[in-house]
Structure 1
Amino acid sequence: MALIPKETELQEGLTIIFDDLLLKKEQVRKELLRTRKDFNSACDTHIKSGFKSEQDWIDANLCHQLKFIEYEMYCHITEVLSDFKDIYGQFPEYLEMYQTLSHIMIQLANEEKYELAAITKFWVDKIDSTIQEYSYC
């Protein structure tokens, strides 16, 4: 039975997290496209009704705006993690990556952007769990 170094297992775990992040980002992008279609449909209905179905238009607009903000957050998290990825696809400075993402999460909470802080916290917790699982201590 071959022994796999803990550092290799850690890097594999971080790579899995990054791949999961990319999948989630793509899912949110698809939801964003759907909310845009819903918004366009609500606009058309609003116009065709002689501008009498304003609430549907307002609701669709708000839903689309919120999904756009969520997607932008996933893009930002992806950029942060990508900045710490080397040419071999590993994360040699994973502790700094974790600290940077944690700082962003705290900053968002301090700015009372709780939904965005919660999205970030999910990924901070996943990274922390992986680091703890394969830690030498």
Structure 2
Amino acid sequence: METQEKIISTFEELQHALYKLKNQIVEFELLFNQACNRHIASNFQKEWLLDRISSRHDIITLRHDSLQLVRETVAAFRDFDGYFLDHKQLLQSLQLLMLNHAEKEEYEIAAIIKKWHDKFSDAVYFVEDLTY
């Protein structure tokens, strides 16, 4: 049962990270609109600002989409009661997802997936501290 609690806690951490990234995407979309207005008001002299905001937005979107892949993969192992089944297969699926992206040379996505693979692996294979 303790393993389930750790996996559920890690899953909730993942959900929270997704929520934060989604909010950041919305913020950057608002910033981009403001930057467009400044660019127009400056007689099209602030293109660097658009590029900078757009680049940051792309990075955040990539992270969000990567975490979405992890969430979908992990959620596939969740039953109706919210418990995670077949922990070993869950970890293997995350590892396969990571390796598939690495083979496509999508290294940033693979690195994000690896980070979460490690977190779920720690949750599955934790060692309880039995010292008194």
Q: Tell me the TM-score normalized by structure 1.
A: 0.86
Name the structure 1 match of 2:89.
96
1:31 aligns with 2:27: no
Matches within 5 A, 1:17-96: 17-96=10-89
Structure 1 segments (4+ residues) deviating >3 Å:
none
Any unmatched runs of 5+ in structure 2? none
> Could you report, residue by residue, the CA deviation over 1:108-137 in whole angstroms, capped at 9, with x for unpaired residues?
2222222211211111001111222269xx
1:109 aligns with 2:97: no
Partner of residue 131 from structure 1, selected from 105, 124, 129: 124
Any unmatched runs of 5+ in structure 1? 1-7
Q: Tell me the TM-score normalized by structure 2.
A: 0.89
CA contact (8 A) 1:10 1:131 kept: yes
Q: How far apart are 1:44 and its partner, in Å? A: 1.0
Name the structure 2 match of 1:3.
none
CA RMSD between the two structures: 1.5
- Work out the number of aligned pairs and report it: 128
CA contact (8 A) 1:10 1:134 kept: no
Q: 1:93 corresponds to which letter in structure 2?
A: D
> Could you report, residue by residue, the CA deviation over 1:19-63 in whole angstroms, capped at 9, with x for unpaired residues?
111011111111111111111111111111111111111111111
